[in-house]
Chain A
Amino acid sequence: MRLATLVWSNLRRRPTRSALTVSGVAIAVMAVVALVGVARSFEKTLLAIYQARGVDLVVVRAGGVQRLGSVLDQKLVDQVRQMPGVAHVAPALAEVVSFEKLDIFGVLVRGLPLDSFLLDDLNVVAGRRLESFDRRAVMLGAVIARNLDAAVGAKLEIVPGKPCEVVGIFQSHNLFEDGSIIMPLEELQTLMDRKGEVTALMVIARDKSKAGLDALREQISSLAPQIEVLMTRDYIETAIEVRLARAVAWLTSTIALMVGTIGMINTMLTAVFERTREIAILRAVGWGKGRVVGLILAESIVLGLAGAVAGSLLAIAITQFLSRLPQSGRLISGEISPGVVAQGFLIAAMVGLVGGLFPAFRAAQLAPTEGLRHE
Chain B
Amino acid sequence: MNSVDGDRTLLRADRVSKQYRDGRVEALVDVSLRISSGEYLAVMGPSGSGKSTLLNILGGLDRPTEGEVYFQGQALGAMKNLDRYRAEKVGFVFQSFHLLPTLTALQNVQIPMFELSLSAAQRAQRAAELLDLVGMSHRSSHVPAELSVGERQRVAIARALANGPLLLLADEPTGNLDTKTAAGILDLFERLHDEQGLTLVLVTHDPGLAARAQRIVRMRDGRIVAEP
Binding site for B on A (CB under 8 A): 1-3, 5-6, 9-10, 12-13, 277-278, 281-289, 291, 367-369, 372
Contacts and interface: CB of A to CB of B under 8 A. Distances in A.
B62 A369 contact: yes
22 contacts: A1-B110, A1-B124, A1-B127, A3-B114, A6-B107, A9-B103, A10-B102, A277-B98, A278-B100, A281-B99, A281-B100, A284-B86, A285-B111, A286-B84, A286-B87, A286-B90, A286-B115, A286-B163, A287-B87, A287-B112, A369-B56, A372-B98
Nearest to A290: B83
B120 interface: yes
A247 B120 CA distance: 48
B92 A285 contact: yes
Q: What 3 A-B pairs are tightest by C-beta distance, nearest first?
A: A286-B87, A9-B102, A285-B112
Contact of B83 (A2, A12, A283, A367): A283
B62 A286 contact: no
A165 B102 CA distance: 73
B81 interface: yes
Contacts of A285: 86-87, 92, 111-112, 159-160, 162
Nearest to A8: B102
A286 B112 contact: yes
A299 to B, nearest CB: 12
A369 B57 CA distance: 10
Contacts of A10: 102
Nearest to B143: A9
A9 B143 CA distance: 12
Contacts of B111: 6, 281-282, 285, 287
Interface size of B as a range: 20 to 34
A12 B160 CA distance: 26
Given A277-B98, A281-B100, A369-B62, A286 B86 contact: yes
Contact of A2 (B92, B103, B120): B120
Interface of B: 56, 61-62, 81, 83-84, 86-88, 90, 92, 94, 98-103, 106-107, 110-112, 114-115, 120, 123-124, 127, 159-160, 162-163
Chain A CB within 10 Å, residue with most, of B94, B102, B115: B102
A209 B92 CA distance: 76
Contact of B61 (A9, A13, A284, A291): A284
Nearest to A288: B83
A59 B115 CA distance: 68
A24 to B, nearest CB: 23
A58 to B, nearest CB: 61
Nearest to B107: A1
Contacts of A13: 101-102
B81 A288 contact: yes
B100 A286 contact: no
Nearest to B62: A369
Contacts of B92: 284-285
A17 to B, nearest CB: 14
A368 B61 contact: yes
Contacts of A291: 114-115
A287 B102 contact: no
A274 to B, nearest CB: 11
Contacts of A6: 100, 102-103, 107, 111
A287 B60 CA distance: 12
Nearest to A277: B98
Given A283-B83, A369-B62, A372-B94, A288 B120 contact: no
A166 to B, nearest CB: 68
A289 B80 CA distance: 13
A294 B210 CA distance: 41
A372 B83 CA distance: 16
A46 B64 CA distance: 72
B76 to A, nearest CB: 14
Contacts of B159: 285
Nearest to B109: A1
B102 to A, nearest CB: 4
Contacts of B84: 286, 288
Contacts of A372: 94, 98
Given A6-B111, A289-B81, 10 more contacts: A1-B110, A5-B103, A5-B107, A6-B103, A283-B86, A284-B61, A285-B86, A285-B111, A286-B112, A368-B62
Contacts of B106: 1
A372 B94 CA distance: 10
Given A287-B114, A372-B94, A1 B61 contact: no
